[in-house]
A = this chain, B = another copy of it.
Amino acid sequence: MKAAILGTTGYTGMILLRLLAGHREITEILPGSSSHAGMALCDTDYGLSSSVLSSSVLLKTRGREGRLLSVEEVVAAKPDVVFAALPHLASVKVCAPFFGNTPLIDLSADLRLKDPLLFERTYGEKPPRPDILERAVYGLAEWFTADIKRADVIANPGCYPTATLLPLLPLSRAGLLKGLVITSALSGISGAGRNVKQAYLFCERSENTCAYSPGRVHRHQPEIRQGLDSVAGSGLDILFTPHLVPLKQGMAVTSVAELTRPLGSDEVEAVYREAYGDRPCVRLTGDRIPETLHVRGSNRCDIGWHIEGDRIILLSVIDNLWKGASGQAVQNMNIRFGFAEAEGLSLHGEI
């Protein structure tokens, strides 16, 4: 199978390239880049194995071995699946040639919010393609599996919504939560992408931590609310405060929710086992608190919990670039094409 990547030189694109190069069902990768088309991959990604750079998985037409392709070249090469790892508000435009022709997994936020008004309020523009918005399946892999199998366009979830929704949805669906969920999320700096801004310099972020965009109507909150509504229709609300912490890859989310009735830890575990028991990318840690290092470089979401009277504290961790982006995108491709769900994905975290 031939897989194309649009945006190969960003962090999520670089990880997609590694994951697809090790995926048993992918025989060819088309590495696209609008900004660096024509450049040799080995000059934009020094970490790539030489064997990949010179091997048959990279497009070899027209003598352009191991080179980044323009979008037109990608289109011409007729990929079987396209991963768009492009900036928000640019992605849908670049992807236009593929809609209706090629299964597409979009890692941007362009197709996540279903409500055009909410989209506009959140991103400051009307949705560029409301028709696609409607068709796009929200790719939270453990929850919309059936839809993903039939999807032409998959809107890959954001890292914050992934890490926040996975622990909330099972309890919410079971009617165990009510009221306002108060969520505090800690993100590594790669969540900002390969954005060259002063705020992301090493000297500005090392030995530094802070909250940002607290509780405003920003991109994370509506996406999380939509996810909550779509599963349970429970009227649960959420107040979400993200924080930047000085690590590269990793996200830890702490949610405090009100219980609708007294619950034991075993009961919580049972609800989670029902939701995730056979799914490879979620692990329950119970009253052991999960740490981001243990899921770094893996597609796992680890979930722990602690009951405190009429509240429950939910603790979840992911690697924001894996389960929070490129890893989940490959998981979605696996589901869409009927491959083993974790094919090509490491489930080991770091030591």
| Chain A contacts to B: CB under 8 angstroms | 11, 14-15, 18, 21, 45-52, 180, 182, 184, 186, 188-190, 194-198, 200-212, 214-216, 239, 241, 243, 245-250, 252, 254, 256, 280, 283, 285, 288-298, 300, 306, 308, 311, 313, 315, 317, 321, 342, 346-351
Nearest 10 pairs between A and B by C-beta? Answer: A47-B349, A184-B184, A49-B347, A208-B293, A210-B291, A215-B308, A14-B351, A47-B294, A182-B182, A202-B205
Would B289 and A351 count as touching, CB distance under 8 A?
Answer: no
**CB-CB under 8 A for A292 and B208, given A241-B184, A256-B241, A348-B48:** yes
Q: Of B239, B321, B351, which one neighbours A256 at CB under 8 angstroms?
A: B239
Nearest Cβ distance between residue A43 and chain B, in whole angstroms?
9
Would A211 and B350 count as touching, CB distance under 8 A?
Answer: no
Would A254 and B247 count as touching, CB distance under 8 A?
Answer: no
**Copies of the protein in its oligomer:** 4
Would A248 and B202 count as touching, CB distance under 8 A?
Answer: yes
Would A293 and B207 count as touching, CB distance under 8 A?
Answer: yes
Residues of chain B lying within 8 A (CB to CB) of residue A348: 18, 21, 47-49, 52
Q: Which residue of B lies closest to A193 (CB)?
A: B203
Would A347 and B51 count as touching, CB distance under 8 A?
Answer: yes
Please list 24 pairs of residues, one from A and one from B, whose beta carbons are closer than 8 Å in the complex, sorted by A's number.
A21-B348, A46-B285, A46-B291, A47-B349, A49-B346, A50-B283, A180-B311, A184-B184, A184-B254, A194-B201, A196-B197, A196-B198, A200-B202, A201-B202, A202-B246, A208-B293, A210-B315, A211-B252, A211-B289, A214-B254, A214-B315, A215-B306, A215-B308, A321-B351
A194 to B201, CA, bound (A): 8
Residues of chain B lying within 8 A (CB to CB) of residue A205: 202
Would A182 and B47 count as touching, CB distance under 8 A?
Answer: no
Residues of chain B lying within 8 A (CB to CB) of residue A346: 49
A200 to B84, CA, bound (A): 26
Q: Which residue of B lies closest to A291 (CB)?
A: B210
Would A190 and B208 count as touching, CB distance under 8 A?
Answer: no
A35 to B207, CA, bound (A): 27
Nearest Cβ distance between residue A23 and chain B, in whole angstroms?
13
Nearest Cβ distance between residue A288 and chain B, in whole angstroms?
8
Q: Of B190, B256, B289, B296, which one neighbours A203 at CB under 8 angstroms?
A: B190
Residues of chain B lying within 8 A (CB to CB) of residue A182: 182, 256
Would B196 and A350 count as touching, CB distance under 8 A?
Answer: no
Would A210 and B252 count as touching, CB distance under 8 A?
Answer: yes
Residues of chain B lying within 8 A (CB to CB) of residue A248: 202-203, 206-207
Q: Of B45, B50, B289, which one neighbours A210 at CB under 8 angstroms?
A: B289
Residues of chain B lying within 8 A (CB to CB) of residue A45: 351
Residues of chain B lying within 8 A (CB to CB) of residue A21: 348
